[in-house]
Chain A
């Protein structure tokens, strides 16, 4: 059974978004997505300070069998990326909702959160 924390928001393209108390959001990919991609070997992280619009490509995941784009779930500016992924891309496989987070964003338009899916809605999509 794939994990799907009820307090997160999701996208059809398998990213998750977690709103932090300070208004920033953490972004990662779902357990379902990491399972499909297989063992991660490299993560191309976005540059800090770069701005992305919702649905822009912002990162690339390379697994042993595929390369996949990560799409920006909510417009905003990158304020931090997960430094551990540089040497331990497997964290995305081991703990997709925790240690395997990809980046932290400062949203420029919080109403876009309403476009995202709930855990239940995402489950139906997959």
Chain B
């Protein structure tokens, strides 16, 4: 679609029609005292050449060194075909489309995405994506509070990603929702305390696997919903949240980045959300449904739109139109190319590589496990008894001051045995 700017005379004609003298006057009803005026920190415009030079300098700072940092964003192999397909003109849009008659291809792709996510999580329904994993969790919390009706309190296991905690706080505290953190050890003290939901991450921030069955049943016995925050890749080899405990998790959300989305210095990424069918009217985000046209031919369209802002206005349960369409396209193409077997192999390779590095590192006398004998997926935490310069892991002390000299290490399918041996050897020689 071409971009056709308004000419000065177009603008004047429109202003004359509505009887306003200038564009500035359109904003008259906004009081002067709340206007920001000119942004002082934003510099003057650059010409194209200056801009290219600036952006190149910035891009040059962005290097991917040999490292083992995961902590919420994961390095995975992205088959070349993924972005080759995604960047085709037919797919190249960021939005989920309203116009079913003009968008069958995109809608079918999103429908297939939803089907794959529902299968992977073991849930009945999926939406067409959210902004990212962290804001997806905030949306899940808002949804749980709407569903529960009587409680505005949420219990969060403190092993959740600290960035997710910050995002959740930003998004839900203005709505008077109280988030209380607990540990596995003191969770029992919160029995019968009327929480709308409990947030369980699997694997948790430290890569460890929680006893999700027990936690899920405990939550349900206490009249709370269960929000599962999962790494979707791990679901290729771990139990799907739909089967946790006796009746399964209620809302499942997480980050789609591991599925074909490049690390790209932290974004853009995309989030997902799945739930039980009985809760679908409280789910945010767009939902694509299959239907038939008047000739009885199968087709796809947005459905359950009465939840959304363009119909329900201020009372909408969904204010998200998702501009993550392009990333979801990448996810869908990635999953289609790998298939379930391919995905299982990626997850298994990640796990066995991580196991291998973990064993090798523990052979070094200055490295101790932070959480001994706990099962993990592809990430684990260690403590160093001597300082190592530029340790290629995520420093846990930043967010958890109690874990001194401790690092979170992640190993995916992108590392070979030679890479891992070399890393251990370098550490052994104090490099």
Contacts and interface: CB of A to CB of B under 8 A. Distances in A.
Contacts of A67: 306-307, 311-312, 315
Contacts of B306: 41-42, 62-63, 66-67
Contacts of B311: 66-67
From DSSP, what is the main secondary structure of chain B's interface residues? helix
Nearest to B313: A67
Nearest to A47: B149
A39 interface: no
A24 B380 CA distance: 62
B165 interface: no
Given A62-B306, A67-B311, A42 B149 contact: no
Interface string A80-124: 000000000000000000000000000000000000000000000
A51 interface: no
Among A41, A44, A67, which residue has the most Cβ atoms of chain B within 10 A? A67
Contacts of B281: 42, 44, 62
Contacts of B315: 67, 69
Interface in A36-94: 41-42, 44, 47, 62-63, 66-67, 69
A63 B306 CA distance: 8
Among B149, B306, B311, B312, which residue has the most Cβ atoms of chain A within 10 A? B306
A66 B315 CA distance: 12
A121 to B, nearest CB: 28
A70 B306 CA distance: 15
A41 B303 CA distance: 12
Interface in B241-276: none
Interface of A: 41-42, 44, 47, 62-63, 66-67, 69
16 contacts: A41-B306, A42-B281, A42-B306, A44-B281, A47-B149, A62-B281, A62-B306, A63-B306, A66-B306, A66-B311, A67-B306, A67-B307, A67-B311, A67-B312, A67-B315, A69-B315
